[in-house]
Amino acid sequence: MIILDGKKLSDKIRENVKKEVDELQKSGTTPGLAVILVGNDPASAAYVNMKSRACKEAGIYSIAHEMPDSISQENILDIIHMMNKNPNIDGILVQLPLPKHIDTTAILEAIDPNKDVDGFHPYNVGRVVAGLDGFIPATPYGVMELLKEYEIDPKGKNVCVVGASNIVGKPMATLLLNANATVDICHIYTKDLKAHTLNADIICVGVGVVNLIKEDMVKDGAIIIDIGINRLENGKLVGDVDFENVASKCSYITPVPGGVGPMTIAMLLENTIKSAKNRKQKA
Nearest one of 196, 203, 201 to 224, comparing CA atoms? 203
Catalytically annotated residue among 90, 118, 201, 240: 118
Coil, strand or helix: which one is 225?
Answer: strand
Residue 246 · residue 253 · CB < 8 Å: yes
CA dist., res. 22 & res. 67, Å (int): 32
**Residue 73 annotated to the active site:** no
**Residue 118 annotated to the active site:** yes
Catalytically annotated residue among 95, 116, 170, 201: 95
Q: At what angle do helices 42-58 and 260-282 cross, to 10 degrees?
A: 50
Q: Please provide residue 185's backbone torsions phi and psi, each rounded to the nearest 5 degrees.
A: -110, 125
Residue 59 · residue 244 · CB < 8 Å: no
Coil, strand or helix: which one is 66?
Answer: strand
**Residue 281 annotated to the active site:** no
Q: Which amino acid is at 1?
A: M
CA dist., res. 17 & res. 12, Å (int): 9
Active site members: 51, 95, 118
